[in-house]
Amino acid sequence: MKILVALKQVPARDSQFRPASDGRWIETGGLSYEINEPDAYALETGLRLKEQHGGEVVVLCAGPEGAASAIREALAKGADRAIHLVEENLLAHDSLSLARLLAAAIQQESPDLVLTGLQSDDIGAGQTGVILAELLGLPHATIIMEIEVQSGAVRVKRELEDGWFQHVTLPLPALLTIQSGSAKLRYATLMGIKKAKTKEIKPVSAAALGISAVPGAILERLSIPERSKQTVLLEGSPEQQAAQLVEKLKHEARVL
Amino acid sequence: MNPTLVIAELKADGSLHPMSLETLAAAQSLEAPVAIAVLGPHAPAAAVRLAGYRAAKICVLDHPLLANYTADGYTAALDWLIQHLDAGLVLFPHTYQVRDYAPKLATRCGCALVSDVTAIRAESGALLLRRQLFQGKLNGEYRPSPGTVFASLQAGAWRADSLIPGSTEIETLAPPLSVADIRQQSEAPFRESARAVDLSAAPLIVAVGRGIKEESNLELARELAQALNAELAASRPICDNGWLPMERQVGSSGQTVAPKLYLALGISGAIQHLVGMKGSQCIVAINKDPGAPIFEVADYGIAGDLFDVVPALIEELRKARA
C-alpha cells in the first residue's frame, strides 16, 4: 500500500505568541518549530499501516526551506521518502489555496491512502484534509481512531461527539484525517536519524505545479484576546497564593 | 439581498443539536433574510420546532440517500440547495459532523470556509469574521473574498436565548442525489461502555492537563481532589495517554460539566476543553503560562508552577479543615 502523509511544521505549541507589528502574522523571532502534533499522529498511523501491510510511506510537506527539519524528522521516524513543496510564503494561502498546491503534488504520486492530522496547532482551521479529498475526488472520513484494511477498502472507526463512535467503510484510494492520541508516537532512533540522511527529499516549487496563491479568505489582523471575565490573579509565594485562594473560595465565591 | 442559509444539525436521536439554535441566532442578527436547511429522516419534526423562530423559510431536504449522514450525501444535497437559493452566506454550527463535510462543500462551491468563528461584523457591506488561532491564544479577523461566504460557528459564541420568535413556513425539497454520489458506508453510531462516573453530578472537580507532565504526578492531583472531596477529571491528552479513563474526560469529546468549583491544573484551555466546563460557577486556573486561554474563563488565577502551588494548597485546605 502506498501511503502519503501530509504534514506541516508549526511553531512549538507552548511558545508565547505575539502579533507582528503589521498584525498579519506573529512575531517569529526566537520561535522554535516542530511537526504539527496532529500530523505526527497521522505519520505514526501511516508507519504502523506500512509495518502491518507493507508498502511505502511518502511524506509531503509544504513550507519554507526551514521545514526541511520537520521532513528529516519524519524520515528518521521511518518514512521512506519525502516531497518538499517549497513555499516561502505560506501566509499568501488560505486552506483552499494551499490544498490546491498539495493536491497537485499528491496527484503525481497516486497514493492508495492519504493521511493528515485533524488540524494544525497554529491556524487550526481543520480543513486541509477534507478539502484535499474533494480536490482529489477521493472519499474521506475524519477524526479516525482505528483503521482496518480490507480488500480494496478500509473500514475505519471515527469519533463522533459526546463519547459516540461510528464505523465507516470507504473504497480505496481514500483520505483519512487522524485523531490525535489514537496511537503512541514513536521517537526517531539513532539508526533512523542516520538512515534519514540517505533518503530522498524531492523539492517541488509551487510554480512548477502551475498553481498560484488565490486566497478566498484573508487573515487581516491578529490580536491578543480581551478578557471576557475579570480574572483575579493571586500573587505572592506559593504559600501566600494558596492561602488567598482558600480564603476567596470560602468567603468570596462561597464554593467550599 | 441573497439569503443567509443556516444548516441545522440533528443529534443521533433526531433531536435538534443545541448549537443549531445558536447558529440561527447568529443569522437573525444579520440583515439578510434567513433560510434554514434540515436534512435526514428526523428533519420534518425538527422543522416544526424551528418554525417557531423567525426566518424566511425552512427547507426540509428529503431523500432516501440522506437517511444516514455521509459527507458525500450532505455535500451533494447542500451544494444543490445553495445554488437553488443563491445563498450569500452559509452558516453551520462548528460540530464534528460539520468539520467532516463543510470544507468539502465550500470547495465544491469554489469558496473558502472560515471555521470555528466567534464573531461576525459587517463593515461597509462586507462581512469580517473573527476566529481563534494558536489554540485560542490569539484572535484573527478574516475578510472573505466576494462570493458566497461559508462560516462554521463556535459553540457558545452566540446565545440561543436571544432568538426572535416567529412562524415560519416549511417547504419540502428533494435534492437530485444518486447512489453513485455516495462512497462512504456508515454503520450505526455506538458508545464504548456505560459510564461509571457521572462528572456532571459532581459539585467540585479537580481537572488535570498536560502541565502535570507525568503519570506519577497525578498522585498530587488526587491528593488535592481528596483534600477538597472533589472528583478528578482531565483534559483530552491525559485520557489519550491512558493516565485516566476516558470517562473522566471533560470537553467536546468527553463530558460537559458545570460544577460549583472547577479547579484546572496545568490545563491550557483549548476550546475543545473550554466548551465542556465554561458553565462552571467558579473556575480556578493554575498554570505556569500567564497567556494560557484558561485564564480567559477563570475567576481566580494563579500564574505559577502547579508543583509548587498544589502542595501548598493541600496544606492550606488541611489547615482549614482542622
Start-to-end C-alpha separation, chain B: 69
Euclidean distance between CA atoms B18 and B279, whole angstroms: 15
Write out chain B residues lying below 8 Å of A175, CB-based.
Answer: none
- A220 CB within 8 Å of a chain B CB: yes
Q: Cα-flanking dihedrals φ and ψ of residue B27, to 5°?
A: -65, -40
Closest CA to B205 of B141, B278, B271: B278
Q: What is the pLDDT of residues B274-301, one digit of tens each?
A: 989 988 999 999 999 998 999 989 999 9
Give the pLDDT score at B252.
Answer: 83
Residues in a beta bridge with B250: B255
Residue positions counted in chain A: 256
**pLDDT top residue among A102 and B194:** A102
Confidence of residue A207 (pLDDT cuts 50, 70, 90): confident
State yes or no: pLDDT of B195 exceeds 80. Answer: no
Rounded-to-integer distance, Cα B26 and Cα B125, Å: 17
Task: Work out the mean pLDDT of chain A and round it to a whole number.
Answer: 94
pLDDT at A222 over 80: yes
Residue B106: list chain A partners with CB under 8 A: 96, 131
The residue extents of the domains of chain A are 2-209, 228-256
**CA closest to B262 among chain A residues:** A255
Cβ contact, residue pair A166, B190, below 8 Å: yes
Strand-pair partners of A178: A117, A144
**pLDDT tens digits for range A228-245:** 678 999 999 999 999 999
**pLDDT at A167 > cutoff 70:** yes
Residue B193 has pLDDT above 70, yes or no: no
pLDDT at B191 over 90: no
Instruction: Give the pLDDT mean for A81-86.
Output: 97
Q: The cell 469558496 sits on which residue?
A: B111
The nearest alpha carbon in chain B to A228 belongs to: B296
Q: Which one-letter amino acid corresponds to residue B209?
A: G
What pLDDT, on a 0 to 100 scale, did the predictor assign at position A90?
84
Query: What are the boundaries of each domain within chain B?
Result: 4-181, 199-321
Task: Tell me the pLDDT tens digit for each residue of A107-142.
Answer: 999 999 999 999 999 999 999 999 999 999 999 999
Whole-angstrom CA distances from A64 to A30, A68, A79, A85 are 17, 8, 20, 8
How far apart, in whole angstroms, are the C-alpha atoms of residue A56 and residue B293?
Answer: 40
Residue A176: closest C-alpha in chain B: B100
Distance from CA of B34 to the nearest CA of A (A): 23
pLDDT value of residue B198: 80
Residue A98: per-residue pLDDT: 93
Phi first, then psi: give them for residue A164, nearest 5 degrees.
-95, 150
CATH tag, B4-181: 3.40.50.620
- Residue A130: name the closest of B148, A122, A158, A138 by CA: A138
Residues of A in contact with B140 (CB under 8 A): 219-223
pLDDT digits (tens, 9 = 90+) for B31-61: 999 999 999 999 999 999 999 999 999 999 9
Among partner residues B101, B133, B282, which is closest to A124 by beta-carbon distance?
Answer: B133
Cβ pair B141:A220 closer than 8 A: yes
Report the pLDDT averaged over residues A197-219: 89
CA distance A234 to chain B (A): 5
Mean pLDDT, chain B, whole residue set: 93
Contacts of A44 (CB under 8 A, 6+ apart): A77, A183, A184, A185, A186
Å between A159 CA and nearest CA of chain B: 8
Instruction: Name the CA dihedral angle for A195, A200, A201, A205, rounded to a multiple of 10 degrees.
Output: 180
Assign A13 a pLDDT band (cuts: 50, 70, 90).
confident
Fold of the domain spanning A2-209? Rossmann fold (3.40.50)
The 3-state DSSP class for residue B93 equals strand
Which residue on chain A is closest to B187 by alpha carbon? A167
Interchain CB contacts (distance < 8 Å): A and B: 252
In this structure, how many other beta carbons lie within 10 angstroms of the beta carbon of residue A200? 10
B246 to chain A, any CB pair closer than 8 A? The answer is yes
> What pLDDT is stored for residue B197 in this prediction?
80
Mapped onto helix, strand or coil, the DSSP state of residue B43 is helix
**8 Å CB contact of B140 and A221:** yes
Question: What is the CATH code of the structural domain delimited by B199-321?
Answer: 3.40.50.1220
Which triple of cell numbers denotes residue B177?
Answer: 442525489
According to the model, what pLDDT value does residue B194 have? 63
Work out the minimum CA distance from B78 to partner chain A, whole angstroms: 15
Q: Mean of the pLDDT values across residues B115-133?
A: 93
Residues B34 and B43: their CA atoms lie apart, in Å, by 18
**ipTM, interface predicted TM-score of the complex:** 0.91
Look at residue A61 and tell me whether its pLDDT is greater than 80: yes
C-alpha cell, B62: 428529503
| Run of H or E residues at B209 | none
Chain B CB within 8 Å of residue A53 CB = no
**Chain B partners of A94 at a C-beta cutoff of 8 Å?**
112
Share of chain B above pLDDT 70, in %: 99
